[in-house]
Structure 1
Amino acid sequence: MHRVHTLTDSPYGTLTLVATDGLLSGLYLPRHRHRPAEETFGERDERPFARALDQLGAYFAGELTTFDLPLHQEGTPFQRTVWDALVRIPYGETRSYGQLAAALGKPSASRAVGLANGRNPISIVVPCHRVVGANGSLTGYAGGVEKKKALLAFERGRTGAPGSGQAGADTLFALS
């Protein structure tokens, strides 16, 4: 496996993008929990990231709501199943861990879904920030709860949606 990385500025700080064999395999926010050691990212090379950088720029400009990038997701089969479900959560909406577990046919696995969600290595593109507690509370985010709150507010502001359509969603953005 050949890995390279690049850095890019964003409204949420400098992002680190990692590619494995030319496919996006990591997108890390500053002070990202579960961030692999820097030496595993390979040399710095922006070439494999042109499409990802274009799409991230369009996302942050409010012009893109769904990413279309080939991904290299390293994880257990269950983690990859959870991460695949994350990309189906519509822009500007949230789902609870329980709702996500039920959608996967494992209604009692909300804790396991939460653990897999927290290990998602491709933040923003695989929108783990769209998963919240059953009452709409922000229960954590590998990039930090304030970043999660900001990403959700950004998306919500772009859609004009008053809430996510789930119980407790209106309390989501009142948290400090």
Structure 2
Amino acid sequence: MAEALRFLIDRTPTPIGELVVIADEQGRLRMLDWTDHEDRFRRFLRLHYGADGFTLEPAKNPGGLTETMNAYFEGDTAVIDELPTATNGTPFQRAVWAALRGIPCGETISYAELARRIDNPKAVRAVGLANGANPIGIVVPCHRVVGTNGSLTGYGGGMMRKRWLLAHESAVSTSSQFTLSF
């Protein structure tokens, strides 16, 4: 039996709720989620690493990631661009997640455009599912994906957080349906 992966977990307050930061011992971000979605991130960890495939140990600022996320929320949005990450997922999911990291801060794209960017333009629904399974929201910016008409669509952290993140990043959309009001 393989030795369980040791993950380090920290929590930090943000303007839109308490954020959970999970890193591996190499300082790579493995999971980023909200404490009000703890069941979801624990289920994801079990799915990808096995029920006995990991341990979670409290740690302050693992790999400097908590401090980096705090800097993002304080306005240094570019600080997340080069963060080291490691995720388990299918090759298709990881291709979608890599494409998400290519969306510049302050911009949004549609699910159809994201499918085109991974050279699979007919996979719009599959792209949406992979987007929703993203374990590292914000850093792998699934919140920057909107409907074809520019409307805000689902976000695992909730629509209020998606609106806030887009406003924080000064995202601009030409759609009259895109609003940032709370």
- Consecutive unaligned residues in structure 1, runs of 5 or more: none
Shift of 1:57: 2.0
Q: Decide whether the 8 Å contact of 1:30 with 1:143 is kept in 2.
A: no
1:87-138 CA-to-partner distances (Å, cap 9, x unmatched) read 1101011010000001111111110000000010011111110001111111
What is aligned with 1:123? 137
What is aligned with 2:128? 114
Instruction: Please give the residue correspondences for 1:1-176 in structure 2 after superposition, counting only pairs within 5 Å.
Output: 1-22=5-26, 23-32=28-37, 34-37=40-43, 42-50=56-64, 52-67=65-80, 68-156=82-170, 163-164=172-173, 168=175, 170-173=176-179
Counterparts of 1:41 and 1:17, CA distance in 2: 14
Cα gap change, 1:139 to 1:175, in 2 (>3 Å): farther
Cα gap change, 1:174 to 1:11, in 2 (>3 Å): closer
Cα gap change, 1:97 to 1:66, in 2 (>3 Å): farther
Counterparts of 1:97 and 1:117, CA distance in 2: 9
Shift of 1:65: 2.0
Residue aligned with 2:113, SS: helix
Cα gap change, 1:41 to 1:173, in 2 (>3 Å): farther
Counterparts of 1:15 and 1:127, CA distance in 2: 15
Shift of 1:174: 5.3
Q: Decide whether the 8 Å contact of 1:7 with 1:17 is kept in 2.
A: yes
Q: Decide whether the 8 Å contact of 1:34 with 1:119 is kept in 2.
A: no
Counterparts of 1:41 and 1:79, CA distance in 2: 24
Cα gap change, 1:41 to 1:85, in 2 (>3 Å): farther
TM-score by length of 2: 0.82
Counterparts of 2:103 and 2:36, CA distance in 1: 25
Give the structure with the higher percent strand.
2
Figure out how many residues of one structure are paired with residues of the other and give that number: 167
Q: Decide whether the 8 Å contact of 2:21 with 2:66 is kept in 1.
A: no
Larger mean CA deviation between 142-151 and 22-31 belongs to 22-31
Counterparts of 1:120 and 1:129, CA distance in 2: 10
Counterparts of 2:29 and 2:180, CA distance in 1: 34
1:146-165 CA-to-partner distances (Å, cap 9, x unmatched) read 11011111111xxxx6x24x
Residue aligned with 2:178, SS: helix
| Cα root mean square deviation, aligned | 2.2
- Structure 1 vs Structure 2: percent identity of aligned residues? 44
